């Protein structure tokens, strides 16, 4: 069976409010990044893929299984929610063992799996610690371990690096890349750096719609010719922020080097075209799709 | 095994420890201290209390006398929903009542007036009000009146009074067939304790009477704590996305709740059995009776309270189940009024029999009791199955718990 998720014309409502609009995506094996601002609909889409939400219309198949067959979907999907939490008084290995039991893994296999996963996520030394005693990063790693306990074909991780320190974030990304070698991993985030470091295929969402889908390289190419840098006097900064999409600022003595996204050459002295980076390319994508991404003060 | 893991989760919770403490405390203070001495035979010329005779003529005679007395004073003591209420009937209802009294006794309105004139009148103060009462001479019941028709009439009268009156059909026998016990009666009852109840039967009933009160309310706290733990700990989504079926998960948790909550009851039973062995050493007691009756009496009660708690907690957020259970328990316990022996209706949750004696009174309700416990056993299983359905709907995002209280709750008052 081919390892892919197919999403066709999916619509989702919360009461009268439409949360997803005609979503079409094909997600293959490896890491897939879902990028978007807060409230873009990423979590709704992830929950729908994890059979936690029902769609209003459209079709979703996970490795050939329709999403309506919730029990089969649950058996083949691992899910790490945005706010990962566990019973605080349980020990780390006990929590993993409990969730393994809920996943239907026989006791004889569970002990081995728990040990091997804790080793893989570098928590083996903390196995007897209570969940409430783990740091934020450790909890996220435990979150990945619980999502992998039943060896799923699909792993869905929702905003996994939010709140982590840089070291933990890098460790977590590497872990995700490792597990993606043998399965589909969907990573939802609003942090561009996470996508840049891990994903080749991405989709950008905003207000329940997919604005763009393709590879990271394509996204960068898409923005080529629209990213500029310029050295400007600090006193002009409020005006510049109002008129342009500023993706970076570096203060140097009396000048500030700004990085700007613009459809045409900006009317600034010394403005030169720059090599696109993913953050600017993402901002250009949002801007060219009609989203208001200017950060200037009124 | 998942069952063991769920049991461990429950046993470690503070709510469960409090539950155990209350069950054991209630057992020690109510039952254990009451029964620390054996029963001795009655002494001659003592006061032996009352017994229920079940004599239909006595019931009809006493009830109609009481009815006429109440009619003449137009004041009827009732316990609707368990609370005391003095009812005064309007003219049309009094006319209906006159018709019934005439059917039972043959006395028409004029006849009733004569009775009134020949009765001793006195005043009875109840709180702020003062009611007129009549000490009515004995009025014979018409020879044509059958007991079936009589109970039918009493049922109608109870309806007119709004329910909870002393004429309610299920209370007639208890209210109107009590006769003073003689020494011989008391001796016979004492002998029943040894011969028919083989000691343990009586003690088991008293044990169930006390423990049943706690079991009627306390399990809901533990059930709510376990069911809402996933939401409180933000673990719901992790559990929802597991392969396990909703049926297996809900029933495993249910079984774990019932098993763990029955442990302190079983321990109390064992303590009661040991106490009985000590007090009646050398007597021919049936020790298994200390276990069989309590299991049949208390387990269905524990099961329905737990299942209802789980179902309501899955359907509504927060502690709605506790409020509902408290209302049910409060109504059930209070609706008995002052009747504490043999108070077992078809749907009574907390069955009472607060004495070591009056076996006959208990046996009068035996059919009700058996039906009642089997009914609650079945109802508990139905409630657990409904919990599975609600859980499955929530799991698939097809149903969200209805929020009654707190922010966004249906019952929250708007500022």
Is it the case that residue A92 has pLDDT exceeding 50? Answer: yes
CA distance A85 to chain B (A): 6
Q: Give the percent of chain A with pLDDT over 70.
A: 98
Q: Mean pLDDT of all residues in chain B?
A: 90
pLDDT band at B338 (very low <50, low <70, confident <90, very high): low
Please report the pLDDT score of residue A290 as a whole number: 85
Test A54 with B239 for CB contact under 8 angstroms.
no
Task: Please give, rounded to a whole number of angstroms, the shortest distance from the CA of B240 to a CA of chain A.
Answer: 7
| A54, A74, A101 member nearest B241 (Cβ) | A74
**Which chain A residues have a beta carbon less than 8 Å from that of B2?**
101-102
Contacts for B261-265: CB closer than 8 Å, 24+ residues apart: B261/B16, B261/B19, B261/B219, B261/B222, B261/B302, B261/B306, B262/B298, B262/B299, B262/B302, B263/B20, B264/B19, B264/B20, B264/B23, B264/B24, B265/B23, B265/B211, B265/B215, B265/B294, B265/B298, B265/B302
| A139: chain B residues, CB-CB within 8 Å | none
- Percentage of chain A lying above the pLDDT 90 cut: 67
Residue A253 neighbours by CB distance under 10 Å: 6
Contacts of A77 in chain B (CB under 8 A): 241
Confidence band (pLDDT; 50, 70, 90) for A263?
A: confident
Q: What is the pLDDT of residue A160?
A: 86
Domain ranges of chain B: 2-41+187-395, 55-176
pLDDT in tens, A30-56: 999 999 998 899 999 999 999 999 999
Secondary structure of residue B124 in the 3-state scheme: strand
Give the model's pLDDT for residue B415: 45
Helix axes B147-160, B56-73, angle to 10 degrees: 30
The confidence score (pLDDT) of residue A298 equals: 41
Which of A71, A85, A101 faces B5 most closely, judged by CB atoms?
A101
Q: Give the highest mean pLDDT range of A1-10, A232-241, B205-214.
A: B205-214
pLDDT at B109 over 80: yes
Does residue B337 carry a pLDDT above 60?
no
DSSP assignment string, B354-412: -SS--HHHHHHTHHHHHHHHHHHHHHHHHHHHHHHHHHHHHHTTS--PBP-SSTT-TTP
Lowest mean pLDDT among B168-177, B269-278, B382-391: B168-177
**pLDDT tops 60 at residue B264:** yes
Q: Return the structure tokens found at A175.
A: 């872990």
Which candidate from A52, A83, A97 shows the least CB-CB separation from B240? A52
Q: Which residue of B has its CA nearest to A80?
A: B238
In this predicted structure, what is the pLDDT of residue A55?
A: 95
Judged by a CB distance cut-off of 8 A, whether residue B4 touches chain A is: no
Give the tens place of pLDDT for each residue, B2-59: 999 999 999 999 999 999 999 999 999 999 998 989 999 999 888 888 888 889 999 9
* Structure token pair of residue A218: 């394509």
The beta-carbon neighbor of A85 closest among B9, B234, B243 is: B234
Please, are residues B361 and B49 in contact by the beta-carbon 8 Å criterion?
Answer: no
Residues of B in contact with A89 (CB under 8 A): 12
Q: Is the pLDDT of residue B330 over 80?
A: yes
Q: Which of A294, A260, A296 is nearest to A277 (CA)?
A: A260
Mean pLDDT over residues A210-225, rounded?
Answer: 94
Closest CA to B366 of B228, B205, B244: B205
- pLDDT value at position B407? 64
Q: pLDDT at position B171, please?
A: 83
Burial of B37 (0-12, 13-18, 19+ CB in 10 A): exposed
Using pLDDT thresholds of 50, 70 and 90, give the confidence band for residue A297: very low
A187's tokens: 């990573």
Cα distance between residue B205 and residue B221, in whole Å? 25
* Res. B163: pLDDT tops 80: yes
Which letter, b or e, does each residue of B346-384 get, where b requires 16 or more Cβ atoms within 10 Å of its Cβ? eebbbbbbbbbbbbebbebbeebbeebbeebbebbeebb
Q: Which of B1, B232, B242, B248 to mutate to test the interface with A (most CBs of A within 10 A)?
A: B242
Band of the pLDDT at B336, cuts 50, 70, 90?
A: low
Q: What integer is the mean pLDDT of B212-230? A: 96
A179 with A130: CB under 8 angstroms?
Answer: no
What is the model's pLDDT at position B408? 63
ipTM attached to this prediction: 0.90
Q: Kindly state the average pLDDT of the residues B366-380.
A: 95
pLDDT in the model for residue B174: 82
Sign of the CA dihedral A102, A103, A109, A112?
negative
pLDDT score for A6: 97
Which two tokens mark B343?
A: 């108070």
Q: In which region does residue A272 sit, left (phi positive, over 0), alpha (psi from -120 to 50) or beta (all else)?
A: beta
Across the range B274-299, mean pLDDT stands at 95
Encoding tokens for residue B375?
Answer: 């009914």
Judge whether B201 and B52 are in contact, CB under 8 Å.
no
The number of residues making up chain B comes to 415
Q: Is B243 on the interface with A (CB under 8 A)?
A: yes
Q: Which burial class, exposed, middle or buried, applies to A243 when counting CB atoms under 10 A from its CB (0-12, 13-18, 19+)?
A: middle
Provide mean pLDDT across the span A209-226. 94
Q: Above 70 in pLDDT, residue A202?
A: yes
DSSP strand pairing (B50-52 vs A17-28):
unpaired
**Which residues of chain A have a CB within 8 Å of the CB of B1?**
101, 107
Give the bridge partners for A25, in sequence order. A7
Q: Residue B132 belongs to what H/E stretch?
A: strand B129-135
pLDDT of B129 higher than 80 = no
Kindly state the DSSP code that residue B337 receives in the 8-state scheme: T
pLDDT of residue B127: 60
Give the separation between CA A48 and CA A59, rounded to whole angstroms: 11
In chain B, which among 54-113 make CB contacts under 8 A with chain A?
none
For tokens 């067959």, the residue is A69
| pLDDT tens-place string over residues A132-178 | 999 988 998 999 999 999 999 999 999 888 778 888 888 888 888 98
Q: Which of A85, A103, A140, A147 to mutate to test the interface with B (most CBs of B within 10 A)?
A: A85
CA angle B359–B360–B361, rounded 5-degree value: 90
Where is average pLDDT lowest: B114-118, B235-239, B383-387?
A: B114-118
pLDDT confidence tier of residue B412, bands split at 50, 70 and 90: low
Antiparallel, parallel or unpaired: β A201-206 and A272-273: unpaired
Percent of chain B exceeding pLDDT 70 equals 93
Q: Do B243 and A150 touch (CB under 8 A)?
A: yes
Is residue B413's pLDDT more than 70? no
Return the higher-pLDDT residue of B131 and B164.
B164
Taken in order of first residue, the domains within chain A and their CATH numbers are 4-219 (3.40.50.300), 224-288 (no CATH)
- Rounded Cα gap, residues A21 and A208, in angstroms: 6
- Burial status of residue B318 (CB atoms within 10 A of its CB: 0-12, 13-18, 19 or more): middle
Is residue B363 within 8 A of residue B287, CB to CB? The reply is no
B268 contacts: CB under 8 Å, gap ≥ 6: B23, B24, B27, B31, B207, B211
């Amino acid at each position: 069976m081919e390892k892919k998720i197919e999403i066709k014309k999916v619509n989702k409502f919360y009461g009268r409010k439409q949360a997803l609009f005609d979503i079409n995506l094909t997600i293959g094996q490896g890491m897939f990044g879902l990028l978007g601002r807060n409230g873009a609909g990423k979590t709704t889409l992830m929950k729908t893929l994890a059979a936690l939400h029902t769609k209003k219309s459209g079709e979703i198949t996970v490795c050939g299984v329709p999403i309506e067959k919730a029990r089969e979907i649950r058996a083949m999907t691992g899910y790490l929610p945005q706010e990962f939490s566990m019973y605080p008084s349980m020990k780390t290995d006990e929590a993993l063992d409990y969730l393994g039991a809920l996943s239907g893994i026989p006791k004889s296999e569970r002990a081995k799996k728990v040990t091997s996963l804790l080793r893989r996520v570098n928590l083996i030394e903390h196995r007897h610690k209570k969940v409430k005693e783990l740091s934020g990063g450790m909890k996220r790693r435990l979150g990945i371990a619980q999502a992998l306990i039943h060896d799923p074909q699909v792993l869905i991780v929702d905003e996994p690096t939010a709140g982590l320190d840089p070291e933990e974030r890098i460790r977590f990304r590497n872990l995700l890349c490792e597990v993606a070698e043998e399965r589909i991993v969907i990573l939802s985030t609003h942090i561009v750096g996470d996508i840049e470091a891990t994903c080749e295929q991405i989709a950008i969402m905003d207000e329940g719609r997919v604005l763009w889908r393709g590879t990271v390289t394509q996204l960068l190419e898409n923005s080529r010719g629209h990213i500029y840098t310029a050295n400007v006097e600090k006193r002009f900064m409020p005006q510049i922020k109002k008129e342009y999409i500023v993706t970076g600022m570096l203060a140097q003595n009396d000048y500030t080097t700004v990085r700007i996204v613009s459809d045409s050459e900006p009317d600034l002295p010394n403005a030169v075209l720059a090599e696109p980076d993913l953050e600017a390319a993402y901002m250009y994508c949002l801007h060219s799709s009609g989203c208001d991404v200017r950060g200037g003060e009124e | 095994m998942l069952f063991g893991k769920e049991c461990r989760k429950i046993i470690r919770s503070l709510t469960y420890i409090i539950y155990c403490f209350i069950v054991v405390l209630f057992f020690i203070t109510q039952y254990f201290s009451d029964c620390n001495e054996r029963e001795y035979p009655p002494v001659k010329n003592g006061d032996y209390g009352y017994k229920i005779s079940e004599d239909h003529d006595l019931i009809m005679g006493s009830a109609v006398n009481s009815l006429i007395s109440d009619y003449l004073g137009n004041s009827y003591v009732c316990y609707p929903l368990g609370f005391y209420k003095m009812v005064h009937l309007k003219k049309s209802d009094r006319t209906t009542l006159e018709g019934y009294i005439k059917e039972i006794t043959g006395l028409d309105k004029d006849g009733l007036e004569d009775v009134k004139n020949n009765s001793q009148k006195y005043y009875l103060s109840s709180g702020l009000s003062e009611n007129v009462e009549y000490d009515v001479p004995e009025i014979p019941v018409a020879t044509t009146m059958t007991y079936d028709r009589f109970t039918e009439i009493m049922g109608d009268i109870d309806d007119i009074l709004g329910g909870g009156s002393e004429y309610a059909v299920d209370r007639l026998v208890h209210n109107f067939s009590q006769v003073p016990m003689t020494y011989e009666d008391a001796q016979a009852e004492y002998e029943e304790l040894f011969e028919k109840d083989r000691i343990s039967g009586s003690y088991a009933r008293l044990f169930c009477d006390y423990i049943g009160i706690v079991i009627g309310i306390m399990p809901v706290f533990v059930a709510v704590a376990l069911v809402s733990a996933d939401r409180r700990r933000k673990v719901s989504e992790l559990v929802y996305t597991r392969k396990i079926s909703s049926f297996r998960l809900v029933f495993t948790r249910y079984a774990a709740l019932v098993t763990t909550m029955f442990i302190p009851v079983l321990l109390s039973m064992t303590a009661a059995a040991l106490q009985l062995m000590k007090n009646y050493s050398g007597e021919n007691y049936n020790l298994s009776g200390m276990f069989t009756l309590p299991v049949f009496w208390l387990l269905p009660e524990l099961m329905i309270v737990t299942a209802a708690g789980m179902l309501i907690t899955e359907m509504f957020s927060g502690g709605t189940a506790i409020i509902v259970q408290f209302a049910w328990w409060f109504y059930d316990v209070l609706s008995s009024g002052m009747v504490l022996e043999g108070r077992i209706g078809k749907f009574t949750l907390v069955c009472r029999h607060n004495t070591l004696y009056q076996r006959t009174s208990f046996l009068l309700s035996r059919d009700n009791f058996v039906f009642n416990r089997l009914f609650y056993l079945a109802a508990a299983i139905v409630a657990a199955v409904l919990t599975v359905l609600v859980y499955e709907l929530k799991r698939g995002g097809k149903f969200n718990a209805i929020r009654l209280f707190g922010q966004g709750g249906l019952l929250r008052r708007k500022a």
